Structures are given as C-alpha cells and as structure tokens.
Structure 1
Amino acid sequence: MATSKSTNTYNRQNWEDADFPILCQTCLGDNPYIRMTKEKYGKECKICSRPFTVFRWCPGARMRFKKTEICQTCSKLKNVCQTCLLDLEYGLPIQVRDAALKVQDDLPRNEVNKEYYIQNLESQLSNSDPTQPTNSLKSKGSSDLLVRLARTAPYYKRNRPHVCSFWVKGECRRGEECPYRHEKPTDPDDPLADQNIKDRYYGVNDPVAEKLMRRAAAMPALPPPEDKTVTTLYVGNLPDNVTEDELRGHFYQYGEIRCLTLVPRAQCAFVQYTSRNAAEHAAEKTFNRLVIFGKRLTIKWGKSQGRQGLTEKNDGVPMLEPVPGLPGTLPPPPAYLHPFPPQMPPPPNRPNDFFNLHHYGGPGWGPWGPPGMAPPPPPAPLPAPLRLHYPSQDPARLGAHAHTNAPQI
C-alpha cells in the first residue's frame, strides 16, 4: 500500500535557503558583533509550513536567545521581521498598519491555495529586479496614525529573558546567576498574555494592535490659544546637532516664517509665523508627528503677546520679577524728604517770577503780580531729619578702648 506524501516532498526544490535573515533593529540587538548560527531547513515556517533556514543569535548581554519564526517569502509578502512579525518601517503590528493604510489582506487561508499562492509569488520575486522594492506596501505612502504611533528608536526591552518559573514557585536557587527574570509574571487575565503568531501575521484579534489603537484614540490634541495674536510655536526635545537651516526647512512648508530663534543650550527653538493660519497649520501637522534625527519633537504654542505686554513698561524695558519673601512695594519715603509738606500745596505757577516781569509790569505791580495780590504765606519749617544710628557706629564695638599706659603725646 502506497503511503501518502506531503506536497513539500515533491516540492523540495522550493525550500528556502538564505544567507542572512530579515530582521528589525530591535530583534538584532545593540551589539554590532554577534554570533549567529545557521541551520539549513531547520524548521517549518509557521505561516506557509515550508522548511526554511533558521537563524539563532543572542541580541545582547542579559537577553534571551532569539530565532527566526517565518520564512523570508512570508516576510517579504507582509514587509515584516522574521522574528517579531512587526512592520520593518514603523515597528507596528500588521493590524495597525493595514488599518491606517486601508490595506485588505488577500492571502488565502487554505493550505493548498496558500502554498500555490506563495510559490507563484516566490517565482515572481526571483524574476524581478532585486534593486526595486518587492513589496507593494512601500508604495502606499504614509498616514497620520502611523507617524504618531511609529517607534523612532529600538525597543530593546522586548528582548529580555522570560520569567523564571522556579522563582514564581519559590524554588529557584541560582540567585543572580539565573538567566531568567525574577519578576512577577503577567496576569493571565491580561489580553496581552494571549498572543498568537498567526493572528499577528494575518492582522486579526491582535491584543497589541488593539492596545495601540486605543492609545491613538486617546492621544491629546493641541488646541490653538484664544488670543489670535499668538503666532509662535515652541519646539522642544531638539537633537544636539540640529541647525537653524534644518528647522527652517521643516517648518517653512507650512507658511512664511517671520523669525526662528534656536536655543541650543535648552535644546529648544521658537518659530514665529507671519499669519495665524500658518501657525495653526504647522501645529496641526507637526504635533506628535515631527521626527528629526530619530527624536520626536515636542510642539507647543508660545506665550500670549498680551500677557507679555503686561510685564513690560511703556518704554519697552521689561520689569523684573518680584523676589519671593520680600514685600511687593517699598514703604513711602519720610515726610521730610518731600519738597513740600503734605498739608501745604506747592506755590502757584507765576509767570512773572519765571520771566522776571514784575519790573516791567507797569505802575502798581508788585513783586508777586497784579496790584492787590498778597504774597503767599511762608512755608512751614521742615522737620529736623532723624539721626540714624547703626551698631557699627559705636566706638566701643570698633575696638577703641581707653588704655592708662598709653604714651602721652
């Protein structure tokens, strides 16, 4: 009786043989010198069930060993990493990426149809130009959701070892030499504890993707201020090597810039637009989306021009901030420092005195003005100034003591 043979037995020539895996930077690790083992036809792909070359390596110190899970054909079909199955460009699950780009998955689920589809796809990839992008997803463009959720730096925490099961039971005797984590395990009721590699690849029922979608829905917005005169944006978290020309190149596309001030010491900048519409357009397009040199910039609105005017004098000189702990205003000066006592108004303005016209006022004019005008009452005598005494003025405290044996001069 003849035994049935699988399709892989007849199509062994289509098994995958690769020289290097398709990995993301997070799975590859931060160590530029790693030792990687290669096993030809080591395992079956968890998507298409075809044997492929398995790579195994350690991404860094105190990290767990990782290996490839799917073949390179399935990886190129979805543009994902062979190990974590996250998008190579954004570092996001396939479900989030397809929802943002509105991509429909047409990969067949049946084993026979799936193998036939993948074989035809692999033949197309082998006949195509290797310099051209093989994935149609790269030509879909981008979206605001992907830019806001995309990772700008590797997340090496994902490579940590698994939780030690012996430590959970209280039986681990290795101590610090244990290669596994001694931490509290994930709650079994947590949706993130139940992850399936096929669900992630096909983009259905992925708990990580659902968590990211909820995070995107709850992201804060940047409402414009009520003061219409505010046209300045604050840009924070700048890289150290960023220049003013690079910032101007990013923000000039939203409108005409009046001035751009770069503060390298504080790692921030202020961008002032000529119009309010340009500032609102720039704030909408760059909030939680602008990434320069791998760092996501912080975008906020500048201060109100009206509030700044309250803290300035009429001549434009800014006023000093009050010192904490001191009174806000100084006490009034003493009465004797006034040019005129409070009870006595200053003398009226007499043009005759100023221009010396009492000599030419004609007959009958007195020294104080027209005839019959009495002289003003004499001013009240000013009080004697108070004598201030300081302890340092005491001769006894300055070391002047009487000595009986001092020589007589």
Structure 2
Amino acid sequence: MAVSKSTNTYNRQNWEDSDFPILCQTCLGDNPYIRMTKEKYGKECKICVRPFTVFRWCPGARMRFKKTEICQTCSKLKNVCQTCLLDLEYGLPIQVRDAALKIQDDLPRNEVNKEYYIQNLDNQMSKYDATQPSNSALKSKGASDLLLRLARTAPYYKRNRPHVCSFWVKGECRRGEECPYRHEKPTDPDDPLADQNIKDRYYGVNDPVAEKLMRRAAAMPALPPPEDRTVTTLYVGNLPDNITEDELRAHFYQYGEIRSLTLVPRAQCAFVQYTTRSAAEHAAEKTFNRLVIGGKRLTIKWGKSQGRQGINDKNESAPVLEPVPGLPGTLPPPPAFLHPFPPQMPPPPNRPNDFFNLHHYGPGGWGGWGPGMAPPVPPPPAPVAPVTPVGLHYPSQDPSRLGAHAHANAPQS
C-alpha cells in the first residue's frame, strides 16, 4: 500500500540548497577575494518561512559582516538582493520600482496560500531558466523615466558600515580606535527611516526609504529649453575616458539628425548640434539626468547662442572707462584758426611737403606734384568767414617780401 507524502515531507525535500547567493554589487563588496561561510538550512526565510542556505561574509575592511535574509525563490520572484532587498537592476526599493513600472503585487499573504504559490513557482523555475526573474511583469516592462532618474549607477558601499557602538553612546567604550563599531551619534528614534520592516519592504508597502526617494524625484529640477529658438546644441559632460565619437553619435542620432558633434577628450565633454530645434528638445528631454554610459551618469545642458555670446564677449572685452585727467582725450578742442582746412574739406594725402604745411598751388602742382602730373581736383571750398590770425607776426610772413611779386623795372624773360 503506497503511502502519500504529506505537505511537510514535500517541503522538506524541496528546501533550498544553493552554492552561491543572489547579491547586489554593494552587498558583495569591493574585495574580489571574498570568503563566505555556508550553512545548509541554517535559517528560515523571513518571507516564506522555509529553511534555506545561509551565507555569511565580510564585504571589506572596516565593514560589518552580512548574511542572506530571504531564500532564493523569494529573491527571484521579486528580482531583489537576498540581503538588502533592493532591486538588482536599478538598486531601488521594491515600492519605487513597482510604482514606476505600474506593477501590482499578487503575492498571497496567507501562509497556506503562500506555501502553495511558492511550490508552483519552484516547479516553473525548474523547467525554465532560473537566472531570470520569475515575475512575468518584470520581464515585459521596460525602464521608465522615474527609474532612470533615481537608479544608482555605482555601488554604494556606505551601506556596509558597522553599526553604532552602544557602549560609546553610553560613554563606556574603552576600545578607542580598535572598536569595530561606529562611534557616531545614533539615528533619531522618531525618524521614520529608523523603523523599517523587512516584510513591508518586500511587499512594497509603508517603506519610508521608498517614500523619501519618491519625494526626491518629485523635487528634481527639469531642463527648460532656452528662449532663443536658434539654439540647437546640447552640452554633454562627465563622459567616460574611453568613449569615442562614433559611440556618442550612435546614441544621440536616435533623437534626430545631427549637424555636428565635437568631442573634447581633455575636458571629458562633447557638444552635439542638431539640425532642428525639435530634435534638440526631444534629446534633452530623454537624456537629462537619465543617460548612463560606461557606468557614469552624463550631464546634459543646453548650449549658448553664438550671436548672444559674441555680443556679451564684446561688451566684456571693451568696458567703458572714465577719462583720465591730463590725457589728450580730455583736453578741449583746438581753436578753429589752427585747422589748416575747413571742416567741410578733407586734408590732402600725406606727401613730403605736407610735413612743412606747404599746401598751395605752384609750379610743382598741389603740395609738391611734379611737372607732367595732373594735380588732383580739390572739392570746391565752402564759403568761410575770414579768420584774422591772432598771435605774433614776423617780417617773413609779409606777402610783399621774398620775391612774391616781381619788380616793375625787372627785365622780362
């Protein structure tokens, strides 16, 4: 007579027995030569209450020892780390991820229904790829704008710090620097972040960390387009060291046609200019505070208008200064009689005789022009009232002297 297996016997035969945990990079630590202790069926899962293999390790120097808290079945169901219960892809709480992807949690809360649901889930994972998340909603959903803005692009090892030393808080710690715990002021007990429940975090309800991140996302600044419609250039900063122009062009070309792309490796930045303003606005909206290349979040800003930039540079390079006393710019204008030409008549070109102010018509022409050369025709002077020179008078200035007029008895040639 065959004896049927009870539910308790079935669960014992299907307890988890794994060789390596499912961890995020932050919990795993930065030490590549990490050592772990493995205890088979050492603890029960805090979600499904089934025994599972417990791993314990130290993620690095001056950090606390960490261990797995939930089984791998529950971890694959939500695609979270077995220790910190944060999403493996974005590093965010489950409540934030489900709100961004609009995923409804259908995991049963009753112990009997939960046990039946987990058993069916184990059978499905044994038939298909066990490395992928078992939740169909996580497979079909893509990344949203909220997740790209809040996602961590690098490990956050600050979470692995030791706990606060309770003896130091009381003033009784005598270890000093050798104490493996932190000598800091503990968190305020009234702070909501100090009261976190692992089941609420797993089911995505009443999570104070998730609510804090949601408030931060709502207060994040936006990138408004400039008023000048001629600006079609985007500034891209914080670029990786090994990025090439072709890789950057291949990424930004999906938002519109690119007119020019200038890469400045020394400054780790680039300037992307689109042919149309609509393409530039679309690229700025999709990439601002969301674009991650090579594990680095890129800085996106609008470029400056070339016309306005030139005007600003011109004004800045030529400031208006007050006149300095004593310089020619501050002296009064000379008297009118000192001008050799009327204001309406421009002076002749510079010639040797001009140095001596010999501007007259003579045998040599205008101002020293030689014979055979056509003198220039000056413009007709405007009628100007005669100006009587004021000052000293020398005999050489007499027109009747120095042979200005020939004598009447002189022989004519």
State the TM bucket, normalised to the shorter chain: 0.7 to 0.9
Q: 1:47 to 1:317 in 2, by over 3 A?
A: same
Offset of residue 170 of structure 1: 0.6
Q: Deviations over 1:351-378 (max 9, x none)?
A: 9999999999999999999x99999999
Q: 1:347 to 1:142 in 2, by over 3 A?
A: same
Q: 1:9 to 1:349 in 2, by over 3 A?
A: same
Take 1:404 and 1:174, find their aligned partners in 2: how far apart are those partners? 130
Take 1:403 and 1:194, find their aligned partners in 2: how far apart are those partners? 126
Take 2:122 and 2:343, find their aligned partners in 1: how far apart are those partners? 102
Contact 1:236 1:269 in 2 (8 A): yes
Offset of residue 250 of structure 1: 1.0
Q: Deviations over 1:236-280 (max 9, x none)?
A: 111111111111011111111111111111111111111111110
SS of the residue corresponding to residue 119 of structure 2 reads: helix
Question: Normalising by the residue count of structure 1, what TM-score does the alignment of the two structures yield?
Answer: 0.77
Offset of residue 339 of structure 1: 10
Take 1:404 and 1:103, find their aligned partners in 2: how far apart are those partners? 125
Take 1:220 and 1:398, find their aligned partners in 2: how far apart are those partners? 90
Q: Deviations over 1:132-182 (max 9, x none)?
A: 664421321111101111000000000000000000111000000000000
Mark the runs of 5 or more structure 1 residues left unpaired by the alignment: none
Take 1:263 and 1:318, find their aligned partners in 2: how far apart are those partners? 32
Contact 1:312 1:318 in 2 (8 A): no
Take 1:404 and 1:32, find their aligned partners in 2: how far apart are those partners? 122
Q: 1:367 to 1:94 in 2, by over 3 A?
A: closer
Contact 2:323 2:330 in 1 (8 A): no
Contact 2:21 2:82 in 1 (8 A): yes
Q: Deviations over 1:267-310 (max 9, x none)?
A: 11111111111110110000001100000000000012221232
Question: How many residue pairs align between the two structures?
Answer: 408
Contact 2:366 2:375 in 1 (8 A): no
Take 1:30 and 1:337, find their aligned partners in 2: how far apart are those partners? 88
SS of the residue corresponding to residue 103 of structure 1 reads: coil
Higher alpha-carbon deviation: 184-193 or 340-349: 340-349
Cα RMSD, aligned residues only: 13.6
Take 2:146 and 2:216, find their aligned partners in 1: how far apart are those partners? 11
Q: Deviations over 1:292-344 (max 9, x none)?
A: 00000000000122212325789999999999999999999999999989999
SS of the residue corresponding to residue 283 of structure 1 reads: helix
Higher alpha-carbon deviation: 339-348 or 76-85: 339-348
Q: 1:215 to 1:37 in 2, by over 3 A?
A: same
Take 2:316 and 2:190, find their aligned partners in 1: how far apart are those partners? 67
Take 2:411 and 2:183, find their aligned partners in 1: how far apart are those partners? 88
Contact 1:311 1:318 in 2 (8 A): no
Offset of residue 184 of structure 1: 0.8
Corresponding position of 2:224: 223
Take 1:20 and 1:407, find their aligned partners in 2: how far apart are those partners? 134
Q: 1:345 to 1:389 in 2, by over 3 A?
A: closer
Q: 1:349 to 1:214 in 2, by over 3 A?
A: same
Contact 2:241 2:265 in 1 (8 A): yes
Offset of residue 346 of structure 1: 3.8
Offset of residue 189 of structure 1: 1.1
Bigger Rg, which one:
2
Contact 2:77 2:133 in 1 (8 A): no
Contact 1:46 1:198 in 2 (8 A): yes
Q: 1:213 to 1:336 in 2, by over 3 A?
A: farther
Q: Deviations over 1:183-209 (max 9, x none)?
A: 111111111100110000000000000
Corresponding position of 2:317: 316
Q: 1:144 to 1:357 in 2, by over 3 A?
A: same
Offset of residue 403 of structure 1: 65
Higher alpha-carbon deviation: 218-227 or 135-144: 135-144
Q: 1:331 to 1:60 in 2, by over 3 A?
A: farther
Take 2:408 and 2:353, find their aligned partners in 1: how far apart are those partners? 68
Higher alpha-carbon deviation: 304-313 or 82-91: 304-313
Take 1:155 and 1:96, find their aligned partners in 2: how far apart are those partners? 18
SS of the residue corresponding to residue 409 of structure 2 reads: coil
Offset of residue 123 of structure 1: 1.1
Mark the runs of 5 or more structure 2 residues left unpaired by the alignment: none
Contact 1:352 1:368 in 2 (8 A): no
Q: Deviations over 1:50-108 (max 9, x none)?
A: 00000000000000000000000000000000000000010000000000010000000
Corresponding position of 1:184: 185
Contact 2:17 2:53 in 1 (8 A): yes
Higher alpha-carbon deviation: 243-252 or 129-138: 129-138
Q: Deviations over 1:4-58 (max 9, x none)?
A: 9996466211211111100000000000001100000000000000000000000
Contact 1:313 1:319 in 2 (8 A): no
Q: 1:257 to 1:384 in 2, by over 3 A?
A: farther
Q: 1:390 to 1:288 in 2, by over 3 A?
A: farther
Take 1:68 and 1:389, find their aligned partners in 2: how far apart are those partners? 114
Q: 1:327 to 1:45 in 2, by over 3 A?
A: farther
Corresponding position of 1:56: 56
Contact 1:81 1:88 in 2 (8 A): yes
Take 1:58 and 1:407, find their aligned partners in 2: how far apart are those partners? 129
Q: 1:119 to 1:314 in 2, by over 3 A?
A: closer
Higher alpha-carbon deviation: 304-313 or 113-122: 304-313
Percent same amino acid among aligned pairs? 90
Q: 1:183 to 1:350 in 2, by over 3 A?
A: closer
